[in-house]
């Protein structure tokens, strides 16, 4: 899997994690690049040496990634991810994903239209998400 595919897959999974369905939870959450990079650095240190080069590449790409998740009333969500076009084009690529979200206490479950689930924790205006797949990468988003 190339870095761009991995980054987009992680972003979609993270976007799914950001959905929440409760009063006061609705709104738009934007990727906190600094906090996300800090969380990723901790996880990447646990990788075997042979995988750390790819991890550093992904960390470098975070600064050029824009992501937002809108948790809508009624449990619908929309996630937008804009990433650089690594295929050689000039224009960045924007993906829009929809799904559902629900809330139980401070836990938000996001389910993408593809069925992938992301578990998030809401603390104030900060949403921290971890996918249910092979990756334990955390995404940190702030309501803006």
pLDDT at 18: 44
Compute mean pLDDT per 10 residues along the chain, 144 residues long, and list them: 57 49 77 90 85 82 90 95 76 90 94 90 93 73 90
Q: Environment class of residue 24 by beta-carbon count within 10 Å: exposed (0-12), middle (13-18) or buried (19+)?
A: exposed
Cβ(101)–Cβ(71) below 8 Å? yes
Note down the domain range covering 64.
Answer: 3-143
Cα distance between residue 18 and residue 20, in whole Å = 7
Structurally, the chain folds into a number of domains equal to: 1
pLDDT at 8: 59
pLDDT at 83: 85
- Domain with residue 108: its CATH number is 2.40.128.300
CB neighbours of residue 86 within 10 Å: 14
pTM for the whole structure = 0.75
């Amino acid at each position: 899997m190339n870095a761009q595919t991995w980054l987009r897959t992680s972003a979609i999974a993270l976007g799914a994690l950001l959905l929440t369905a409760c009063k006061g939870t609705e709104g738009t959450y934007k990727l906190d690049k600094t906090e996300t990079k800090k969380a990723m650095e901790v996880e990447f240190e646990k990788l075997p040496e042979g995988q750390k080069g790819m991890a550093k590449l992904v960390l470098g790409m975070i600064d050029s990634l824009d992501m937002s998740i809108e948790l809508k009333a009624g449990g619908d969500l929309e996630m937008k991810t804009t990433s650089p076009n690594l295929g050689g084009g000039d224009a960045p690529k924007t993906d829009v994903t929809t799904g559902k979200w629900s809330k139980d206490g401070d836990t938000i479950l996001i389910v993408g239209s593809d069925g992938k689930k992301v578990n998030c924790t809401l603390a104030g205006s900060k949403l921290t998400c971890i996918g249910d797949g092979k990756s334990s990468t955390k995404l940190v988003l702030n309501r803006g």
